[in-house]
Amino acid sequence: EAGVAQSPRYKIIEKRQSVAFWCNPISGHATLYWYQQILGQGPKLLIQFQNNGVVDDSQLPKDRFSAERLKGVDSTLKIQPAKLEDSAVYLCASSLDRLHEQYFGPGTRLTVT
Amino acid sequence: GEDVEQSLFLSVREGDSSVINCTYTDSSSTYLYWYKQEPGAGLQLLTYIFSNMDMKQDQRLTVLLNKKDKHLSLRIADTQTGDSAIYFCAEIRESNTGKLIFGQGTTLQVKP
């Protein structure tokens, strides 16, 4: 079974630029999560989708971050404009349903200069 | 609060047992997880325990749960150099949507 796929793996941008990340979850997984992991910390949830609907986006900085999962499969996370403090690893995870085990992709390491 | 706390660093010799500790705050937590993160990689699910269990064993891994003290531990028997990584405990709560609350991670260093 293929795991969670993410691209790109690395991205370097200047502050105030925009960037987008892509995630393809495990086939059949209804729930998709985006986490932000700042160096030296544990991951923190940004947004959670159940199929193509948003379940929890309480920690998403909505003035600059947006995410969508239009067909209930792939998802994109966008940052516009980026700030220095957005430098982090962005992890996508999926699970069969809520309260099931979450499986993580390799992450996208973003550096904002 | 939402804090899950772990000690930051543990160093052991190859062949010894490692014990990584975690404390959590929400007594309504249903599942507690252990994830492993190697450099430059995502998080790998190692094991989990349901809150009505005290212990779970899976090959070299033993998870102990003390609900009264809200304390979770992961024991790795016969630790190998390939076990060197950051270990995260995380809790999932019935009261929320299923999001994981992570600790800050324990770096395990295994010396040959």
Nearest by Cα to B89 from B107, B104, B108: B104
| Residues of chain A with C-beta less than 8 angstroms from the C-beta of B90 | 42
Q: Does A105 touch chain B (CB under 8 A)?
A: yes
Main-chain dihedrals φ then ψ at residue B82, nearest 5 degrees = -70, -10
Question: Six-digit token pair at A105?
Answer: 């992709």
Select from A6, A40, A48 the Cβ nearest to the Cβ of B99.
A48
Q: Does A45 touch chain B (CB under 8 A)?
A: yes
Q: Do A55 and B4 lie within an 8 Å CB cutoff?
A: no
| Residues of chain B with C-beta less than 8 angstroms from the C-beta of A31 | 98
Q: Give me the total of CB pairs closer than 8 Å, taking one residue from chain A and one from chain B.
A: 60
In sequence order, what are the beta bridge partners of A77? A21, A67
Q: Do A99 and B102 lie within an 8 Å CB cutoff?
A: no
Q: Do B44 and A45 lie within an 8 Å CB cutoff?
A: no
Per-residue confidence in pLDDT tens, chain A, 113 aa: 689 999 999 999 999 999 999 999 999 999 999 999 999 999 999 999 999 899 999 999 999 999 999 888 999 999 999 999 999 999 999 999 887 889 999 999 999 99
Select from A55, A100, A102 the Cβ nearest to the Cβ of B97.
A55
Q: Do A33 and B103 lie within an 8 Å CB cutoff?
A: no
pLDDT digits (tens, 9 = 90+) for B36-67: 999 888 899 999 999 889 999 999 999 999 99
What pLDDT shows up at residue A99?
77
**Cβ B109 vs Cβ B16: under 8 Å:** no
pLDDT digits (tens, 9 = 90+) for A83-96: 999 999 999 999 99
Select from B31, B92, B97 the Cβ nearest to the Cβ of A56.
B97
The phi-psi region of residue B91 (left if phi > 0; otherwise alpha if psi is between -120 and 50; otherwise beta) is beta
Residue of A45, A48, A110 to mutate for B, most B C-beta atoms under 10 A? A45
